[in-house]
Amino acid sequence: MITLSPRSNISFSLTLLTPIIAIFFTLVMGLIIFSFLGYDPLKSLYYFFIAPVSRPDQVAALAVKACPLILIASGLVFCYRSNIWNIGAEGQLVFGAIFSGWLALNFLESNSFLLLPCMMLVAILGGMFWALIPAILKIRFNTNEILVSLMLTYVASLFIDFLVRGPWRDPMSFGFPLTPTYSDAALIDRVYIPFVGYIGQLHYGVFVALFVSVILWFVLMKMLPGFKIRVTGESSSAAIFAGFNPSHVTIMVMCISGGTAGLAGMIEVSANIGQLQPNISFGYGFTAIIVAFLARLNPLAAIPAGLIVALAELGGDSVQISMGMPKVVTGVFKGLLLLSLLAGETFNRYHIKFDFKKGNK
């Protein structure tokens, strides 16, 4: 039998050392896997970890890839810290894009500087709206928020598919399921540095994600709402005894996570796509769940965690393009990296005891 017992004290040095050991273990296993499959192991690791960040524009691509992951994971942390399991951030991202897209498509001729902030606000409301459905059902009928939020993701995907193929389709799209292109006022600009120019695809939405992550960390760790969330997650009985209403906490954390996911959807479309289409996300809502736990349920730590996961994604693409490595191999390596990091976190937080006693004969 294997038992896990929480450590009474987790040292800061061990916290820093654990991910380093996990990454080192992944590198060693990667060398073995790539050698066994006939690939140059050192060259494979170069294209996986070094090539994606070898130029400034590639570093910018990494930040752009991590942007929605950081945003969504920072919001999901609030749910998971309160033991509310929101698995439907992907659908909330889609609804944030739908709500902001509705506003953009109704002001195609607008040049107002207020359009973009209004789209952000509407996107947050859209994500909140879709997240409130499982929250209300859980409070009113004690439904399982995991199943409801997950199933709503597929409803959202079908709904945006209906919109872009039907009422919102651009008549000039030659039959493709695309909406009209947003006006310039509805697009997020790329970052321009005087005397340097544009740095790849880096856009201002990345800074929005970093700002939101810092603000959410402050709310969770330094403010009363965050204290309510943490107490409710530790013990619902203690929260009730302290006068906190678990139903209110459920509504609050679902709104926060849904709002950040909706904002991520709006940024992804306005910064990188410029119009609505059937597929606006590459599974960011699901991948952000891994980021949230990799960040130890800390909004601020979601920044480096999001960058690590984004590097794994870009590294997999780089190895496939440069070395012709099958996607399944890069998927195994990415999975090994994430598994090592999460396993290291488990060893960091818990004592693992093995009981080898034999049963009575």
More confident residue, 197 or 271: 271
* 230-274 per-position pLDDT tens digit: 999 988 888 898 889 999 999 999 999 999 999 999 999 999 999
User: Residue length, the chain?
Assistant: 361
* 285-295 per-position pLDDT tens digit: 999 998 998 88
Q: In this predicted structure, what is the pLDDT of residue 272? A: 94
More confident residue, 360 or 71: 71
Q: In this predicted structure, what is the pLDDT of residue 48? A: 84
Instruction: Name which of 70-74, 156-160, 232-236 the model is least confident about.
Output: 232-236
Tokens encoding 8: 């009474």
Q: H or E stretch including 197?
A: strand 197-203
> What is the Cα–Cα distance from 81 to 305, expressed in whole angstroms?
17
DSSP 329-358: HHHHHHHHHHHHHHHHHHHHHEEEEE--PP
* 103-143 per-position pLDDT tens digit: 999 999 999 999 999 999 999 999 999 999 999 999 999 99
Strand partners, 4: 352
Q: What is the mean pLDDT of residues 270-286?
A: 93
pLDDT at 220 over 50: yes
Highest mean pLDDT pick, 67-81, 227-241, 297-311: 67-81
pLDDT at 353 over 90: no
pLDDT at 361 over 80: no
All structural domains of the chain with their residue ranges: 65-314
Average pLDDT, the chain: 90
- pTM for the whole structure: 0.90
Closest CA to 186 of 271, 99, 277, 279: 271
